[in-house]
Amino acid sequence: MKHNFNSGPAVLPREVYEEASRAILDFNNTGLSILEIGHRTNLFQPIMDEAVALMKELMGLDADHEVLFLHGGASTQFFQVPMNLLDEGRTAAYTDTGVWGAKAIKEAKLYGNVDVVCSSKEATYTYIPKDFTVQPDSVYLHITSNNTIYGTQWHNFEPVFRAGVPAIADMSSDILSRPMDFNRFDLIYAGAQKNIGAAGVNVVIVNKNILGKVQRKLPTMMDYRVHIENGSMLNTPPVFAIYICMLTLRWLKAKGGVAAIEKENIAKADLFYNTLDSLPEVFKGTVAKEDRSLMNACFVMQDKGREEAFAALCQQEGFVGVKGHRTVGGFRVSMYNALPYESVVALTDAMKHFANNT
Ligand code: PMP
């Protein structure tokens, strides 16, 4: 038995694997595989429509917010966002809270001025800065709501909304994991491969009122407005990845949506962090407690010399993906929506056993 703590692509619900397996062989008794149906057919259109409707419903979006399923991963959004919103000579505000935020900053600089309003880089990104000033004429403020590599998460967005400029968030690693005031963000983007579904598609939620204001000419495939007009079907969409998203969103809705999943995510994270903190002679969390992520927990061992033994134990017990990102070292445990509580029980039992017996 494997317990999958991968950071993404990550574990999805068992029911999704089962239904998708059936659909690969025979989609809805059509005699066709989901992999061979045309995207502009009455077989795929309902899948796209349901995926969009479920995103809107689960996030409680208002009529101004459009949902797009696009290609290119969240990394494409690092430049597609400024390309669509930031004119040359104008300034966008960015928070520097990790590797992904830093990459977004680098790409934005290709299009306009970037004001890095805060950074925790000097402390190896171990906390979320809360005190920063955004110039009122900034075109937007960009944050990374959950820093996948470092294991920090914004738990309070007031400093973001208080800035009074359009708020933009990379929510790749915590979208749909907890209720948020999604409508107060003017643009949200996320790679699907953690909480939404399969790799190969990213979701963009955009307030259509902020679009169409830049002076530059946009390549058609990069223009959000064109994708809205074409219902995310300007060209061939990643059909199978969107199908997996739709199934995963159905699963989330059946569970009771983001409020219900948040309770489970808190229970998992509490169990993990409480165990970690109860074994201080062996393990040490790497980030400020108040900013700890419910999705990605990073830790090291007090005695670095014991890391190999713990890694070997993880391998033996079937704990997959617990190695920390190469830039941080140590260990990282990802606990996305579909990770069963039992996996955290198994891991924390093993941590206790390791601490007490080796
Ligand atoms: N942003 C965040 C917060 C991420 O965690 C990741 C990838 N794990 C990315 C962006 C990049 O996503 P992609 O690989 O889909 O481009």
Q: How many other β-carbons are positioned within 10 Å of the β-carbon of residue 273? A: 18
| Structure tokens given for 153 | 């998460």
Whole-number Å distance between alpha carbons of 312 and 317:
9
Residue 286 corresponds to which tokens in the numbers above?
């790497």
pTM for the model stands at 0.98
Residue 102 has a pLDDT of 98
CA 194 to ligand 1: nearest atom: 8
Q: Which residue from 75, 147, 295 has its CB within 8 A of the most atoms of ligand 1, so it is best to mutate?
A: 75
pLDDT category of residue 226 using cuts at 50, 70 and 90: very high
Peptide bond just before 9 cis, omega within 30 deg: yes
What is the average pLDDT across 240-250?
98
Say what the pLDDT of residue 30 is.
97
Ligand 1 center–CA 8 separation, angstroms: 8
Q: What is the pLDDT of residues 323-342, one digit of tens each?
A: 998 888 899 999 999 999 99
What are 152-203's pLDDT values in tens digits? 999 999 999 999 999 999 999 999 999 999 999 999 999 999 999 999 999 9
Whether 195 is in the pocket of ligand 1, judged by its Cβ within 6 Å, is: no
Q: Residue 77 has what DSSP assignment?
A: H
CB distance 140 to 93 below 8 Å: yes
pLDDT, position 326: 83
Per the CB < 8 A criterion, the answer to whether 317 and 354 are in contact is no
Q: Which two tokens stand for residue 239?
A: 């059909």
The answer, yes or no, to whether any atom of ligand 1 lies below 6 A from the CB of 159, is no
Q: Decide if 109 is catalytic.
A: no
